[in-house]
Amino acid sequence: MHKAGFVNIFGKPNAGKSTLLNALVGEKLAIISPKVQTTRHRITGIVTEPGYQIVFSDTPGIIDPRYRLHEKMMGAVKSALEDADVALLIMDAKDRVEESLELFDSLKLKVNRILVLNKTDLLKKEELAALKARCEAWGKAPVIAISAMQRVGIKELLEQIVARLPEGEPFYPEDTLTDKSTRFFVAEIIREKIFHLFEEEIPYHTTVVVSQFQEKETLTKISAEIVVTRETQKAIILGEKGKSIRQLGTLARQDIEKFIGRKVFLELFVKVRSKWRDNDTYLREYGY
Ligand code: GDP
Ligand code: K
Ligand code: MG
CA distances, 26 to each of 172, 177, 178, 263 (Å):
17, 10, 12, 22
pLDDT tens digits along 235-273? 999 999 999 999 999 999 999 998 888 899 999 999 999
Ligand 1 within 6 A of CB of 57:
no
Ligand 1 within 6 A of CB of 149:
yes
Mean pLDDT of 185-205: 90
Instruction: Identify which of 19, 92, 116 to mutate to test ligand 1's pocket (most ligand atoms within 8 A of the CB).
Output: 19
Amino acid in the structure at residue 176: T
pLDDT score at 60: 58
Environment class of 72 (CB within 10 Å of its CB; exposed 0-12, middle 13-18, buried 19+): exposed
pLDDT tens digits along 25-64? 887 777 777 777 676 667 788 999 999 999 998 765 445 5
Task: Give the residue, 150 or 40, on which the prediction is more confident.
Answer: 150
What is this model's ipTM? Answer: 0.99
pLDDT at residue 69 is higher than 90? no
Residues within the annotated binding site for GTP?
A: 11-18, 58-62, 118-121
User: What domains are there in the chain, each with its CATH number?
Assistant: 3-164 (3.40.50.300), 182-285 (3.30.300.20)
Mean pLDDT of 221-248: 96
Mean pLDDT of 185-198: 93
Single pTM value for the model: 0.78
